[in-house]
Amino acid sequence: MAQRDYYEILEVTRTVSGDEIKKSYRKLAVKYHPDKNPGDHTAEEKFKEIGSAYEVLSDAEKRAAYDRFGHAAFAQGGGARGGGAGGGMHDPFDIFREVFGANGGGGGGGIFEQFFGGAQAAQPQSRDGKQRGSDLRYDMQIRLEEAAFGCDKEIEVSKLEGCADCQGSGAEKGAHAVSCRDCGGRGQVINSRGFFQVSQTCARCRGSGMVIDRPCRKCNGEGRTEAPTRIKLKIPAGIEDGSRLRSMRNGEAGLRGGPPGDLYVVIHIKEHEVFEREDSNLFCEVPVSFSIATLGGEQQVPTLEGQAQLKVPAGTQSGTAFKLRGKGIPALNSGTRGDLIVRLIVEVPTKLNADQRAKLAEFAGLMGEENSPLNRSFLEKAKDFFS
């Protein structure tokens, strides 16, 4: 099946830097996020598509493989897939499955081991046709506050679940497993292609050599059916943008009672209106009036927990940063917490009325050299320049 080019999906050229890919991805992810487009199926598809493209292009190794081999770099089993049921329908999770494809489970062996590891083992499948379910990916957008303090989320995913009618076995009551007649129970069929004879996995029994004489009517013998499933997730405090959480056994149900795959939840943290995050520290800029900066006083500043009072010393210059210790983001899996850095920006008053203007002019007349420390040191440094 034709797949769209990943660079095109992310609306970038093939030569852009990783940063630009990230930027474009974020922009598109925000635009097409399901939260922003409720009920819009096209946007949802698009959102998944850009997630898949980013998964590959954001990783230097995968991107290099994609540049050389295209989508084929991430196809599994040398084209052995797709022969079975369910082919023909585009599945937005497909790329993800391939990237995290079930390769015997455990060990974290990703596509790269598979792809560069030489001989490709076909999908391991036991005699009874059991097969581990695919891993799934879910992209979740959360707020900075949720990332900072952690939160509980419940998501709904439509995925293959164990069939309730046959308890995942794929067989009607009283049915038996019999030898597959297409391959004579060998699990492989021989096809001639010109001079070559090619041994291929049998499409009917999917290599197991056995079929059920009366498959379950509800699931067509697959042992699993598509169903919406609600999954509870615990987002840990301090999680970073782009982190991937693994929800064990919440992926696709296995084929004919095989073990389920895992669900990977990729976290996207929404940009905050006020705070910028760098690791566990937060930064923000707060305007302060000319008079508070001059005379000193209290200034309200935002924190993740709400407003706080900052003591502003008299004579504070614009751009001065104040550290609010421990008001940043908790570090993941440790008791420590980052700081909040507040930068004060002194505001120049505008739209003065006649009275205000007169008072300020009078004030200016009273100003001496000692009242302008920055200007004094500037003139000191620049005196050679001006002379």
Residue ranges in contact with Zn ion by CB under 5 A: 163, 165-166, 180, 182-183, 202, 204-205, 216, 218-219
Q: Which is nearer to Zn ion, 140 or 202 (CB)?
A: 202
Alpha carbon 181 to its chain centroid, in Å, reads: 45
In angstroms, what is the minimal distance from the CB of 194 to Zn ion? 24
Structure tokens at 113: 């081991």
Q: Which is nearer to Zn ion, 209 or 338 (CB)?
A: 209
In angstroms, what is the minimal distance from the CB of 209 to Zn ion? 6
In angstroms, what is the minimal distance from the CB of 166 to Zn ion? 3
**Which residue, among 157, 135, 6, has the nearest Cα to 72 in the 3D structure?**
6
In angstroms, what is the minimal distance from the CB of 82 to Zn ion? 16
In angstroms, what is the minimal distance from the CB of 80 to Zn ion? 13
In angstroms, what is the minimal distance from the CB of 102 to Zn ion? 21
Q: Which is nearer to Zn ion, 180 or 312 (CB)?
A: 180
Q: Which is nearer to Zn ion, 139 or 222 (CB)?
A: 222
Is residue 368 a contact partner of residue 376, using CB atoms and an 8 Å limit?
no
Q: Please, where are the H alpha helices in 171-257?
A: none
Give SS3 for 138. strand
In angstroms, what is the minimal distance from the CB of 188 to Zn ion? 8
In angstroms, what is the minimal distance from the CB of 282 to Zn ion? 52
Q: Which is nearer to Zn ion, 129 or 328 (CB)?
A: 129
**Which residue, among 346, 342, 345, has the nearest Cα to 283 in the 3D structure?**
342
Rounded Cα distance, 99 and 298, in Å: 54
Q: Please, where are the H alpha helices in the chain?
A: 6-9, 18-32, 41-57, 60-69, 94-99, 111-116, 144-149, 290-295, 354-366, 373-386
Token look-up 């997730």 returns 233
Q: Which is nearer to Zn ion, 124 or 296 (CB)?
A: 124
Establish how many alpha carbons lie within 13 A of residue 266's alpha carbon, considering only the half-sphere containing its beta carbon: 16
Q: Which is nearer to Zn ion, 8 or 213 (CB)?
A: 213
Phi/psi class of residue 199: alpha, beta or left (left: φ > 0; alpha: ψ in -120 to 50)?
beta
Is residue 226 a contact partner of residue 233, using CB atoms and an 8 Å limit?
no
In angstroms, what is the minimal distance from the CB of 266 to Zn ion? 31
Q: Which is nearer to Zn ion, 203 or 284 (CB)?
A: 203
Rounded Cα distance, 387 and 377, in Å: 16
Rounded Cα distance, 118 and 108, in Å: 17
Q: Which is nearer to Zn ion, 128 or 165 (CB)?
A: 165
Binning the chain into helix, strand and coil, the percentages to the nearest 5 are: 30, 25, 45
